[in-house]
Amino acid sequence: MFVAKLELAAPLDPQDREALRIVCDHVRQVPALRDIVSEGDNPEHIHLMLQGWGARYKIVPDGGRQITAFLIPGDYCDAHIAVLRQMDHGILALTEATVASIPHAIFDDLSLRSPKLTRAMWWATLVDEAVLRAWIVNLGRRDAYGAVAHLFCELHARMRNIGLVEEGSLDLPLTQEVISDALGLTPVHVNRILQRLRSEDLIQLKSGVLTILDPAALQRAGGFDSAYLHARKRGD
């Protein structure tokens, strides 16, 4: 899946593809709510999400938590440390998750040999950056209602890109507290927003499944324009 995602950027050489496949064979299971990588770590391996949900997060001095990204299958967690030295944030499994580990020395070697692969990783980083910018807009210039709407549109689009949306429904195993930590709100307020979105028949959210009932209205509510995701999927 990760390979498929990278190839959206540029075709890889067969040997790159093969090397990646082999290297992805080290698979690890992480229980829910456990750190995959912690802030300050200097990990030996870089990780790819294969299944489940994860989140990047930072803790502020007063104890508050800010989630800066949600990770879904196909996302890499920390290719950073192939280039930078140290994790400047933590990564958490939100559900039980399975991740692939690649010894970073091997990855390093691979990427120095193959411009195409490095370029593909660079591409993935650039898309992540675009998502971060969208979050900044969310936090800075949208009210809570618009922010929740926008977040749901983003997650819907990203899940659809990897084939995990069926008839407008997707698994969304996020507590309201997690959502509030992503949007800079309180759980209480998120709860009220969700009720409003439900009462307006924009969404349905029950037992970890989100269904978008009125995509157009939700996108309007969140000022969502999918262009920034730079999806280059067949059929999009």
81 vs 99, beta carbon nearer a copy of itself: 81
- What CA–CA distance (Å, rounded) separates 156 from 38? 28
For DNA, which residue of 176, 204, 211, 226 counts as binding (CB under 7 A)? 176
Q: Interior CA angle at 91 toward 146 and 203, to 5°? A: 30
- Does 192 bind DNA (CB under 7 A)? Our answer is yes
- Does 191 bind DNA (CB under 7 A)? Our answer is yes
Closest by CA position to 222, among listed 232, 27, 200: 200
Judge whether 62 and 55 are in contact, CB under 8 Å.
no
Judge whether 52 and 73 are in contact, CB under 8 Å.
yes
Closest by CA position to 176, among listed 157, 154, 161, 191: 191
Name which of DNA, a copy of itself, none residue 116 binds, using a CB cut-off of 5 to 8 Å depending on partner kind: a copy of itself
- Does 152 bind a copy of itself (CB under 8 A)? Our answer is no
For DNA, which residue of 185, 202, 210, 212 counts as binding (CB under 7 A)? 185
| Closest CB 185 distance from DNA, rounded Å | 4
Closest by CA position to 50, among listed 97, 117, 120, 90: 97
Which residues form the interface with DNA (CB under 7 A)?
143-145, 175-177, 184-189, 191-192, 194-195, 207
Which residues form the interface with a copy of itself (CB under 8 A)?
9, 56, 58, 60-62, 64-66, 68-69, 80, 83-86, 88-89, 111-116, 118-119, 121-123, 125-130, 132-133, 135-137, 139-142, 182-184, 223, 227-228, 230
